[in-house]
Amino acid sequence: MNADIWKYTRSGFDKNEVITNGNRFLIGNGFIGYRGTMDEWGKDELSAVNLAGIYDQNGDKWREPVNAPNGVFCKILIDRIPMALGETETKEHTQTIDFRRGVHERETDFGKATLKSERLCSMVRHNLIASRLTFKLCEDSRVEIITGIVTDIWDINGPHLFDHAFKTGRVLVVSSKTGELSFPVVVSQAAVYDFPADEVHEMAKTGLYRHISFDGKAGQEYTLALFCAVYSGQKGEQLNKSAEDLVIEAEKLGFCGVLAEHEAAWDALWQNSEVTLEGDDKAQRALNASIYHLHSIAPRHADNLSIPARGLSGQTYKGAIFWDTEIFLFPFFAHTDPALAKNLLRYRIETLPGALKKAKEYGFRGAFYAWESQEGGAEGCSYFNANDIFTRRPLRTYFRDKQIHVSGDIAYAMWHYFALSGDDSLLREGGAEVIFQVARFFISRTHQRVDNGKVELLDVVGPDEYHERVNNSVFTNQMAAFCLENTIKTADYLKGKYPSEYRALMDRLDFKEDLAFCRELLPKIKPQFDPEKIIEQFDGYFDLEDCSLRTVSSRILHKQEYWGSNNGVAAHTQIIKQADVVAMMALFPELFSPEAVRRNWEYYEPRTEHGSSLSACMYALTACRFGRADLAWDHFLKTASIDLTGTSKSWAGEIYIGGTHPAANAGAWLIAVMGFAGLSKQNGRIMLSPCLPEQITRLSFRVIAENGIRKTVTVTHEGYEIQ
Ligand code: BGC
């Protein structure tokens, strides 16, 4: 097999690629995300050690996740000339990410010396980053290495860390506290080298450094290993150990030992999640990259964390959890690693109090989940999510207030965890309560018309964010109907199997009347689909100006102009941001015939800007439902290579929204497995309905089948096998 399917390399240096490369070459282990930057770079190049689950607000700026001080910073000077990419002339330079092993590599020939480094965020020790630098001199020279823990770091809305306390010694330690809630963030560093050198320590304004210097010999290879532990005192971290102990342990193991156990852990992840696409190496590599990113951000160290919309690639989107997790990421984990899928949903159980509070604030009952959820379910979404590029005034957007489908999406995943795995523990450990409280929210959010008795959901935003404050978004109504239906099913199930537990829950939530409402409202709110007609995205959508995407684009006056909100170029037309009706068809396949899907797909696809990375995968998935793998293919490539090409939208108005795209990464898996192979589960059994693109000769993957047993599925143009 071609080795390139596991690696992505870029050669040369282009300063315009620095930010994108930070995303492309990201490494992570679910707790730490380290951007793909050079060892010697700092905040100007957006070097960042992004942490999961810890947030801070500075003044009235947006609340965002905390970046830790960088403990694997390292700059080498040869005869006082820094070996720094972008600063010093280089002869050759390559940067590589190895998807199979989760290792970042760089090799730079600076003329005076060559420098190679390997870096990893340990998949075994989640608090640990390790890096190994190897350099060779061209001629005898004085070498000075500056390494240590940099506290002057990149933040979008920072600074977030204060009261730095420095400790020197064999292990360097910087202890800080977040500004808002005084959470500890402790970073330690150990440096291991086997050449005789002088080492002095410096406490500076920008961090705590070691200066290691010696007279180097031409042609000799020198190696320095750095171990950095980041500790933030959260659940799931190695709490019994200090950051200092953690690096001492790693130091004992040595870089090779740390690397070996890390590679073994990655190998185990790939055993259960690899998807082989034979016939197109580029597509295979893009899919490997996508699955790699999913593993890099999956919180394996904790049982109550979820995955932010930009993963661990930075503070964009405020490090918040969106519907992306439940609708896009959840199926990948549910089919390959149910324990992890369960943990993601546990985050929603733990944050239920936040959702109850939000519903109350808006005058509703039940659970209205945050559109952008931070720790404890706190709403991270502001009232103004874009700026008017011309007036520079903030634009009022209604995602936070009106994108109520998020609650339904969470209940949808909660139910599907049970339906897919048959494991009712999540329902019993709070999942049923989430489902009930979401139903209660929808009940309180509906209006009933006096004239015809119709039950409606008014003034909402569906997945297509360019049309705000619409009535009866069909996606939202269908999701609400599904929630009411599954509330009844969940109640029946618990009542039959665990009667006393059921009674206690019903009493505690005082839910009897709401359950009756569910039965009463369900037939009234459930959208009725005429299989012969195109489904109208919301009331009045068909009356909007029906013009082409090109026409709308031609009206743009500034390339960073926001298309939605009140006056955006798309808002009064039928041009939509992302899959909406088609997304609903993807999520409720049993409701629509292939012909109905085709008809709607053909209507909506040309009217979709695909302005969200969540869009193309829904179109690819549904194209497979009506047998058009050729239509799915381009959307697949676009989705799977999103973080390799780095060409997706980075601005919403003047707001930077760049980073990696977990929902699209998972979308690539969805297309390959649920689209090309047509995987579904019926009554616990896996079923296939393949639609293999001509570019692919063989598709193969492992999934959890009956009774939790893993099976290997192979699809070719001749047929399929499940073993
Ligand atoms: C999309 C949302 C998505 C969010 C985070 C937005 O651009 O419209 O659907 O949840 O990005 O990925």
DSSP per residue over 166-221, as a string?
Answer: EE-SSEEEEEEEETTT--EEEEEEEEEE-S--EEEEEEETTEEEEEEEEEE-BT-E
Q: Could you identify the atom of ligand 1 that is nearest to the CA of residue 463?
A: 9
- Could you give the residue numbers annotated as active site? 465
Q: Are 658 and 650 in contact (CB under 8 A)?
A: yes
Instruction: Please count the other Cβ atoms lying within 10 Å of the Cβ belonging to residue 597.
Output: 22
Amino acid at 408: G
Band (1; pLDDT cuts 50, 70, 90): very low
List the residue whose alpha carbon is closest to atom 12 of ligand 1.
Answer: 309
Is the peptide bond preceding residue 159 cis, with omega within 30 degrees of 0?
Answer: yes
Q: Could you identify the atom of ligand 1 that is nearest to the CA of residue 652?
A: 7
pLDDT tens track for 610-660: 999 999 999 999 999 999 999 999 999 999 999 998 777 666 656 667 799
Centroid of ligand 1 to alpha carbon of 578 (angstroms): 9
Band (566; pLDDT cuts 50, 70, 90): confident
**What is the per-residue pLDDT for 533?**
95
List the residue whose alpha carbon is closest to atom 1 of ligand 1.
Answer: 612
Q: Are 464 and 577 in contact (CB under 8 A)?
A: yes
Cβ–ligand 1 contact at 320 (below 6 Å)? no
Burial per residue of 427-462, b for 16 or more beta-carbon CB atoms within 10 angstroms, e otherwise = bbebbbbbbbbbbbbbbbbbeeeeeeeebbbeebbb
Mean pLDDT score, 6-28: 94
* Cα separation values, 10 from 105, 132, 204, 313, Å: 11, 20, 34, 19
Q: Are 324 and 409 in contact (CB under 8 A)?
A: no
Q: Are 199 and 210 in contact (CB under 8 A)?
A: yes
The residue among 231, 291, 174 whose CA lies nearest residue 53 is 231
Centroid of ligand 1 to alpha carbon of 492 (angstroms): 35
Centroid of ligand 1 to alpha carbon of 384 (angstroms): 15
Residue 446 pLDDT greater than 80, yes or no: yes
Q: Could you identify the atom of ligand 1 that is nearest to the CA of residue 323?
A: 10
CA atoms within 13 A on the CB side of 107: 8
Distance, in Å, from the CA atom of 455 to the CA atom of 525, rounded to the nearest integer, reads: 5
List the residue whose alpha carbon is closest to atom 5 of ligand 1.
Answer: 309
Band (240; pLDDT cuts 50, 70, 90): low
Q: Could you identify the atom of ligand 1 that is nearest to the CA of residue 661?
A: 12
**What is the per-residue pLDDT for 194?**
86
Band (237; pLDDT cuts 50, 70, 90): low
Residue 104 pLDDT greater than 60, yes or no: yes
Cβ–ligand 1 contact at 324 (below 6 Å)? yes
Mean pLDDT score, 154-165: 94
Q: Are 107 and 132 in contact (CB under 8 A)?
A: no
Hey, what long-range contacts does 694-698 have (CB within 8 A, 24 or more apart)?
A: 694/629, 694/630, 695/279, 695/280, 695/283, 695/633, 696/277, 696/278, 696/279, 696/280, 696/283, 697/278, 697/279, 698/276, 698/277, 698/278, 698/279
CA angle at 194 for the pair 188 and 199, rounded to the nearest 5° = 55
Q: Are 6 and 263 in contact (CB under 8 A)?
A: no
Q: Residue 594 is inside which H or E element, if any?
A: helix 594-604
Q: Which residue has the tokens 């979709």?
A: 608
Residue 333's Cβ-count burial label (10 Å; 0-12, 13-18, 19+) is buried
Centroid of ligand 1 to alpha carbon of 614 (angstroms): 7
Cβ–ligand 1 contact at 614 (below 6 Å)? yes
Residue of 475, 565, 612 with the most ligand 1 atoms within 8 Å of its CB, for mutation: 612
The residue among 503, 371, 518 whose CA lies nearest residue 440 is 518
pLDDT, averaged across the chain:
94
Residue 235 pLDDT greater than 90, yes or no: no
The residue among 505, 333, 483 whose CA lies nearest residue 428 is 505
